């Protein structure tokens, strides 16, 4: 009987194992399935913590609902009754030390209609007129491999990119817009420009699709995202062997398959190995200088996230607001803030829970990373006081540091990935890489990648 080892029990590794077990059952294929995770819990960055009535996520706070595979998986797991959707409301940009609403009818700060453009309080009249010139500028040079920052500035103007779009997009994709490709962010913008002559007309022609998804964009679960992780684990009981608190130290190619070596001195021989791991972990497991040349092409960003829970009612927040993104001309240090208790009712019993983000592109990041949790808490309290006029002391504080753990999809990413996959195919057959370092950020992309990886594994088992 063949053995399949999945190294890494995050959402990609779990999805791979779940879909693999389902395919094996459908096609009457037998194999030994082994999942190895170094932490005492499964889920990786997708992990929920609970304290004093607050529900807090150490990584992403939700899943984008539009990925078809996400809700398909929830239904397959018979977990629909635990679904919760985000509360909708106004998102703001903090600029000139004030909160300005991101105009309704915009996507990532990009206006989808003239009405949305004119409603912006972030732009001058000249800036708004410049956006309208897009319809008169033909696309003769940009493709989906081009920089999204250069694309948007060329057609919409510098002012809207810097004041309204960049704060939003850079927050979502953890990078400099001018170093991110359209393909890895919003590839449909090129199609809209080419087909309709202007980006705004493209949005207007597809208005129904965007309006349909405008509300209830994100999902979580009554017990947080760990609820989904626990449900997948339940489904794998009796199907796969799951080992937690077990660190993998190396993966060695042998005559028939691979030898997986663990920190406790034990070894596992496997015919197929899936490394559902960050790129940095893959580099440590495969001792191959030639492969290192390709692995080092993938870059990461860092972030500090902080939750602060207060013994005051959530209702003191600005009406219908769910959070803000910080522009460059602000007296705040944070990059963004989510008013978690407003956006996610299941995270609190009615009291205020705020989450703050401090990213590695922050000018003060090198200072922040050296600070103690107490010093960081003081920084966060000061940001909350300046943005929301709240001076009360928090009753709960949760600090999480993700150092070099957030993949950056720069312009060279796709080419680097194809080169790396070619090397694995040539030198390491049936040893697969998977996860957000390579195949897309976001939980939905990881679930899809897990399903694809399971299909590749089934092909080998056949």
What confidence tens digit (pLDDT) does each residue in 347-379 have?
A: 999 999 999 999 988 889 999 999 999 999 999
Residues 421, 293 within the same domain? yes
Residues 293, 418 within the same domain? yes
Supply the CATH number for residue 266's domain: 3.50.50.60
CA–CA separation, 307 vs 56, rounded Å?
7
Supply the CATH number for residue 179's domain: 1.10.3110.10
* Contact status, residue 58 vs residue 29, Cβ threshold 8 Å: no
Residues 201, 250 within the same domain? no
Domain closes at, from 185, 211, 237: 211
Cβ contacts of 185 within 8 Å, gap of 6 or more? 148, 169, 173, 409
pLDDT < 70 positions in the chain: 171, 174, 211-216
Residues 293, 311 within the same domain? no
CA–CA separation, 389 vs 106, rounded Å?
28
Residues 202, 128 within the same domain? yes
Is 349 inside any structural domain? yes
Helix (H, G, I), strand (E, B) or coil at 94: strand
Is 431 inside any structural domain? yes
Supply the CATH number for residue 354's domain: 3.90.660.20
pLDDT on residue 215: 58
pLDDT on residue 406: 87
β-strand 299-313 against 396-408: which pairing, if any? antiparallel
Residues 310, 396 within the same domain? yes
Summarised one tens digit per residue, pLDDT across range 379-408 is 999 999 999 999 999 999 999 999 888 888
- Residue among 323, 396, 399 nearest 358 (CA): 399
Domain closes at, from 179, 211, 243: 211
Residues 391, 310 within the same domain? yes
Is 25 inside any structural domain? yes
- Residue among 375, 445, 328, 379 nearest 15 (CA): 445
CA–CA separation, 293 vs 454, rounded Å?
27
- Residue among 453, 459, 411, 337 nearest 61 (CA): 337
- Residue 54 CA to its chain's centroid (Å): 22
Residues 313, 372 within the same domain? yes
Residues 388, 330 within the same domain? yes
If phi > 0 it is left, if psi is from -120 to 50 it is alpha, else beta; for residue 177 that is: alpha
Residues 185, 232 within the same domain? no
Is 333 inside any structural domain? yes
pLDDT on residue 213: 58
CA angle 122, 316, 378 (to 5 degrees): 80
- Residue 226 CA to its chain's centroid (Å): 16
Residues 279, 307 within the same domain? no
Is 306 inside any structural domain? yes
Overall domain count for the chain: 3
What tokens were used for 29?
Answer: 């294929």
Domain closes at, from 393, 408, 423: 408
Domain of residue 236 covers 3-45+226-297+412-461
Is 97 inside any structural domain? no
Is 23 inside any structural domain? yes
- pTM of the full predicted structure? 0.87
- Residue 35 CA to its chain's centroid (Å): 23
Summarised one tens digit per residue, pLDDT across range 157-173 is 999 999 999 988 876 77
Residues 206, 242 within the same domain? no
Is 204 inside any structural domain? yes
Strand positions, DSSP E, 277-341 = 299-313, 321-326, 336-338
Angle between helices 443-461 and 68-76 (to 10 degrees): 70
């Amino acid at each position: 009987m063949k053995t399949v080892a999945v190294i890494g029990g995050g959402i990609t590794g779990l999805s791979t194992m779940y879909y693999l077990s389902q395919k094996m059952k459908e096609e009457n294929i037998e194999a030994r399935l082994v999942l190895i995770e170094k932490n005492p819990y499964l889920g990786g960055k997708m992990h929920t913590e609970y304290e004093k009535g607050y529900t807090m996520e150490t990584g992403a706070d939700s899943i984008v609902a539009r990925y078809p595979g996400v809700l398909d998986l929830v239904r397959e797991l018979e977990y629909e009754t635990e679904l919760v959707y985000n509360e909708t409301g106004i998102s703001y940009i903090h600029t000139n030390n004030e909160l300005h609403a991101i105009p309704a009818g915009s996507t990532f700060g990009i206006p989808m209609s003239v009405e949305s453009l004119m409603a912006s309080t972030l732009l001058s009249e000249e800036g708004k007129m410049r956006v309208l010139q897009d319809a008169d500028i033909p696309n003769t040079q940009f493709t989906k491999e081009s920089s999204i920052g250069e694309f948007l500035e060329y057609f919409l103007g510098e002012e809207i990119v810097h004041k309204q779009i960049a704060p939003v997009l850079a927050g979502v994709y953890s990078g400099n817009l001018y170093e991110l490709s359209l393909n890895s962010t919003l590839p449909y913008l090129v199609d809209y420009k080419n087909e309709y002559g202007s980006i705004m007309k493209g949005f207007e022609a597809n208005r129904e699709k965007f309006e349909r998804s405008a509300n209830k964009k994100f999902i979580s679960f009554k017990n947080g995202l760990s609820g989904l992780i626990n449900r997948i684990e339940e489904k794998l009981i009796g199907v796969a062997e799951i080992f937690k608190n077990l660190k993998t130290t190396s993966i060695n190619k042998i005559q028939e398959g691979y030898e997986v070596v663990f920190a406790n001195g034990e070894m596992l021989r496997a015919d197929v190995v899936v490394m559902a791991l960050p790129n940095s972990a893959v580099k440590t497991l495969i001792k191959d200088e030639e492969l290192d040349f390709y692995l080092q092409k993938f870059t990461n960003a860092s972030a500090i996230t902080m939750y602060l829970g207060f013994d005051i009612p959530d209702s003191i927040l600005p009406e219908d607001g769910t959070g803000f993104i910080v522009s460059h001309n602000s007296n705040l240090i944070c990059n963004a803030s989510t008013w978690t208790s407003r956006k996610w009712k299941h995270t609190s019993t009615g009291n205020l829970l705020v989450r703050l983000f401090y990213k590695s592109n922050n000018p003060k990041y090198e200072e922040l990373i050296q600070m103690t949790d107490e010093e960081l808490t003081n920084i966060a309290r000061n940001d909350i006081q300046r943005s929301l006029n709240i001076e009360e002391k928090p009753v709960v504080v949760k600090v999480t540091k993700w150092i070099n753990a957030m993949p950056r999809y720069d312009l060279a990413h796709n080419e680097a990935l194809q080169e790396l996959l070619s090397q694995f195919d040539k030198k390491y057959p049936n040893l697969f890489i998977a996860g957000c370092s390579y195949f897309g950020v976001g939980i939905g992309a990881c679930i899809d990648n897990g399903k694809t990886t399971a299909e590749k594994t089934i092909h080998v088992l056949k």
